[in-house]
Amino acid sequence: MSGNKILLDSNVIISISKNKIDIDRLFYDFDIFIVSIITYMEVLGYEFKNVSERKIIEDLFELIEIIETDIIIANEVIEYRKLRKIKLPDAIILGTAKLQECGVLTDDWDDFLGIDTKVEIVKLEKYFK
C-alpha cells in the first residue's frame, strides 16, 4: 500500500463493473478511494447490461466514501467554469478532488487537463487488463 488517496471518476466505476480493470494494481497504488456524489448519481443512473454488473457497483459504493457537494466545492466549481468551459459534473469532480487533496483517476483525462495544476489527473489506461 502506498498511502495514497484517489477520487474515482464515473468511467472508472463502470469499467470495474465490466471487469476491465486490474484491481490488484489499483489497490497496490492506492489505499483510499473516494467518489463525488455526482459520480454516485451518474453511475447508478447508468443502464447496466445485467444485474451482476449493478451488484458489483452497489457493493463497491458500500466500501467507498461518497463526498457530498457543499458550498466550498461549489465555489471551486464556479472558478473552474469561469476559467474554462468544463462540464458541470467534471467541475464538481475536480473541485471535490482538490478539497480532498487527492488526484482524479479517469479515462477522460483530457477533460480535466490544464484546469487546476494542484490536482493530479491519473490516466485509467494504466489499470486496464
* Domain containing residue 111: CATH number: 3.40.50.1010
For 62-104, the pLDDT digits (tens) are: 999 999 999 999 999 999 999 999 999 999 999 999 999 999 9
- Weakest-pLDDT range from 30-44, 45-59, 108-122: 45-59
**Please, what is the average pLDDT of the chain?**
94
User: From CA 32, how far away is CA 11, in angstroms rounded?
Assistant: 18
Characterise 92 by phi-psi region: left (phi > 0), alpha (psi -120 to 50), beta (else).
alpha
- Specify the pLDDT at position 71: 98
What SS3 class is residue 22?
A: coil
Count how many domains the chain has.
1
Distances (CA, A) of 60 to 15, 17, 34, 72, 114: 12, 9, 11, 27, 30
- pLDDT one-digit tens code per residue, 49-63: 889 888 999 999 999
- Among candidates 55, 6, 42, 43, which has minimal Cα distance to 26? 6
Which range marks the domain in which residue 31 is found?
A: 5-127
pTM of the model: 0.92
